[in-house]
Structure 1
Amino acid sequence: MKKYIYAYFILCILSISACNTTEITSSWKAQDVTLKHYDKILVVALTGNKDRDIRVSVETAMAKALKAQGFNAVTAFQQYGPRIEDRKVDEEKAVARLREDGFDGAFVIPLLDKSKEKHYSPGYYYYSPFWGYYNNFWWSYNMMYSRVYDPYYYTTTTNYVLEANFYDLSDKKLLYSAQTKSFDPGSASRLASDFSKVVIQDMMKGKIIN
């Protein structure tokens, strides 16, 4: 019986891992936005030095997702190095520099929140229809013993709130903005992949990019 229980939990884990960990909580687009081809898009993630791995992963994943849609996208890490977050420059100078480097579109992606949550788990238990184990004394005894005597434990999850802002650099106009929440993605690469996927899908749905 135990091998069937283990198989059940493995299937549950696989089904959960296949789901997207990120959802869009709000999104906005400019009323007069139209489909436009961008020659070169800069992707900038602002996460702070402690989460530089998230910055690199998010920039890389978003650039990859844009390239899959036919855009030429470059990460800020690749173009300007790791210390872009420390640069405080005048807006006009910054935009002029980007235009000189050939960029006509830009994604700015700040990490707005990173929080940990502790969850209580009451120990091992298994649900099954009554006929599944109540009709057998030993199966019933083992199942109920596990529910009653297995020790409880705590698990900690980490959730992230990211924002995506897309600008047309020709007129310095914000065309699209969305906030997302990611529920315990498990790794920076998974966070970045799920985030870029839902954002690109939402932008395509809103006819901002195609």
Structure 2
Amino acid sequence: MKKIITIAVILLFGCSSTSLIENWKDPDTVLFHANKVLLVGMTQNKSARTAFENELQKEFEKRDVEALKSLDVFDVAFTDSKQTGKELDNVEQSLLDKGFDAILFTKITGSENRENFLKSMSKWEDNQVRFNDDYLEHQGIYFDNSYYENFKIYFAETTLYCICEGKERAMIWRGIIEIMDPSNVNKAIKDYVKLVVTALEEQDLIFIEDF
């Protein structure tokens, strides 16, 4: 089981070749500016999670957007055990109380084959979910050693969620990157972060000039 998890982590953060296979944006959202963003990298590998969230935070700071890492917001007990919907509602309210208005959530996902994965992803466009729903479905990534047991192909998925007070707390943007050829971890993290940031800029999300 541990070997499977290690392979999945390497695939997420150590790929020399990545391909953006989906770049979805909510059609009702033209511009989305966030004042304070929570950066979440969901993986059991703390060193990979730290490096990924640090790199993302640096890119946000370069663009004068306040961003905090999940490592600085979520305690160990939170990610080491299964959370309920009610507990996640409380977390979301706590984030709102602290001035957060967006969450950028990255995780490993996978499937037995590429076709099944793409079919499952297409359902999300018809039934947009909140961060809470997404986290509940995939939280086993943090602590379940058998989570990746049946995966034969892997994807990195980054989703932007609005948690703005008084607005629909839903998915604003999602990018899915197919993972291939494990290689240099640090280079892969930087390449992945640049890809995500560029996609957000091109979609006028978070990083908006002269807002």
TM exceeding 0.5: yes
Normalised to the residue count of structure 1, the TM-score between the two structures is 0.61
Aligned 1:43-192 pairs, distance under 5 A: 43-47=39-43, 49=44, 51-85=45-79, 86=81, 88-89=83-84, 90=86, 91-113=88-110, 161-170=155-164, 171=167, 172-184=169-181, 186-192=183-189
Greater gyration radius: 1
Residue of structure 2 in register with 1:23 after alignment = 19
Cα offset, 1:106, TM superposition: 0.5
Give the Å deviation of 1:46: 0.9
Report the number of matched residues. Answer: 147
C-alpha distance in 1, partners of 2:54/2:77? 16
Consecutive unaligned residues of structure 1, counting only runs of 5 or more, are 1-19, 115-158
Identity, % of aligned pairs?
A: 19
**Offset at residue 72 of structure 1 (A):** 0.5
Name the SS of the counterpart of 1:179 in structure 2.
Answer: strand
Alignment-mate amino acid for residue 88 of structure 1? Q
> Equivalent residue for 1:207?
204
**8 Å Cα contact 1:45-1:111 kept in structure 2:** no
Structure 1 residues 175 and 190: alpha-carbon distance in aligned structure 2, compared to 1, 3 A threshold: same
Which runs of structure 1 show a deviation greater than 4 angstroms over 4 or more consecutive aligned residues? none
Using structure 2 for the length normalisation, give the TM-score. 0.61
CA distance in 2, matches of 1:185, 1:67: 29
**Higher RCO structure, 1 or 2 (CA under 8 Å, sep 6+):** 2
Matched, 1:193 2:187: no
Ranges in structure 2 where 5+ consecutive residues have no aligned partner: 1-15, 112-152
